[in-house]
Amino acid sequence: MTSKALDNFLNENIADLKERGLYNEIDPVQGANGAKITINGKKLINLSSNNYLGLATDERLKEVAKQAVDSHGVGAGAVRTINGTLDLHIELEKKLAAFKGTEAAISFQSGFNCNMAAISAVMDKNDAILSDELNHASIIDGCRLSKAKIIRVNHSDMEDLRQKAKEAVESGQYNKIMVITDGVFSMDGDIANLPGIVEIAEEFDLITYVDDAHGSGVLGKGAGTVKHFGLQDKVDFQMGTLSKAIGVIGGYVAGKANLIDWLKVRSRPFLFSTAVSPADAVASTKAIELLMESTELNEKLWENGDYLKEGLKRLGFDIGNSETPITPCIIGDEKEAQKFSKRLYEEGVYAKSIVFPTVPRGTGRVRNMPTAAHTKEMLDEAIAVYEKVGKEMGII
């Protein structure tokens, strides 16, 4: 017999989420996650993927992944510290360090794992973390896990950051103080003010941590937000994922050799979770090599991003203040955002609604992510659908 208390809790809260337009329906994709996808047998233009450069379906990555399965098997077989570190993992980490312009790098099983691992390995209850209010959930959870004092900073507000850094330092309560930010904020597409953050960090001796999940492959001609601003030697932690622009799965932290050494002996997901598969490791390495060799995919991404932005803005949609190819269409009401997304789906465009708690209440939106794999014809078709549905619903 199962718990009645649990059943009551689950049924009541799921019904409440549905009533308020906050319940998320999961749509299984039949086949590859490319510029077009198939859901329930329906072909759709895909504007909801983080596959920024189209590498998730790239033939060159698929080929090396197949070879790795033949040479190394389908799994690493152990945690990294026993005998789960394969030569392929070492090669990936060397390539990551070269890509990010750092002394060393460490790879993890996911970007979320990186933030859970790296923050708590360095920060503890005697420390403080200055965290941007719009930071990703994995940063928030990593900060909580560390037990450090979390000091929330107004979004990209350098005056607020300086004041709170000054107060934290002058209080004398903390051994170490970290400032942590997304490089690119994934729901709005704006870029962190890294020069301002670094200037304040140097003034108050703050540890600097940049989560570049949505900046790597996108900014800095592909090398990321830190490279975009030329601050490789000023940022302590460069964290990123291998699942977005890189097109595979996993995450990494790049920085000085002593930091990476410490994370290898003290970050819990590295110590207690099996390493990524051989195919994933070698495919990620290949993707990074492609980005280091050519900026072609990066340039195509920006071209498509600018094209879609201009089209939606011309129609009168509120696309916020995005500085990257990420293009939100901000609707406001959560139920309206979900209804808008559903109508787009019916007309052949897959653009998922994003509502609280991913974004603040009252800022429900559809988040569009054009990729390097989209054609102009696909984007024109999507813009036409947006015009039809937007007028139908009275949004434009």
The CATH fold assigned to 23-52+295-392 is: Aspartate Aminotransferase, domain 1 (3.90.1150)
CA R_g for the chain: 22
Q: Please give the Cα distance from 141 to 111 (Å, whole number).
A: 12
Q: At the top level of CATH, which class does the domain 57-293 belong to?
A: alpha beta
Q: For the chain, which residues make up each domain, given as ranges? A: 23-52+295-392, 57-293
The DSSP annotation for 169-224 comes to: HHHT--S-EEEEEESB-TTT--B--HHHHHHHHHHHT-EEEEE-TTTTTTSGGGT-
Catalytic-labelled residue, pool 120, 186, 243, 277? 186
Read off the DSSP letter of residue 92: H
How do residues 128-147 score in pLDDT, each as one tens digit? 999 999 999 999 999 999 99
Assess whether pLDDT exceeds 90 at residue 276. yes
Q: Let me know if 136 is a catalytic residue.
A: no
Q: Please give the Cα distance from 32 to 88 (Å, whole number).
A: 25
- Give φ, ψ of 287 to 5 degrees: -60, -45
Total-model pTM:
0.94
Burial class (CB in 10 A: 0-12, 13-18, 19+), 291: buried
Q: Where are the alpha helices (DSSP H) in 225-333?
A: 225-228, 257-266, 268-272, 278-293, 296-315
Catalytic-labelled residue, pool 100, 149, 164, 244? 244
Q: Let me know if 244 is a catalytic residue.
A: yes
- Close Cβ partners of 200 (under 8 Å, ≥ 6 residues apart): 158, 161, 162, 165, 179, 206
Are the folds of 23-52+295-392 and 57-293 the same?
A: no
How do residues 311-332 score in pLDDT, each as one tens digit? 999 999 999 999 999 999 999 9
Tokens encoding 329: 């269409």
Q: Let me know if 186 is a catalytic residue.
A: yes
How do residues 9-65 score in pLDDT, each as one tens digit? 999 999 999 988 888 889 999 999 999 999 999 999 999 999 999 999 999 999 999
How do residues 69-111 score in pLDDT, each as one tens digit? 999 999 999 999 999 999 999 999 999 999 999 999 999 999 9
Catalytic-labelled residue, pool 72, 89, 214, 309? 214
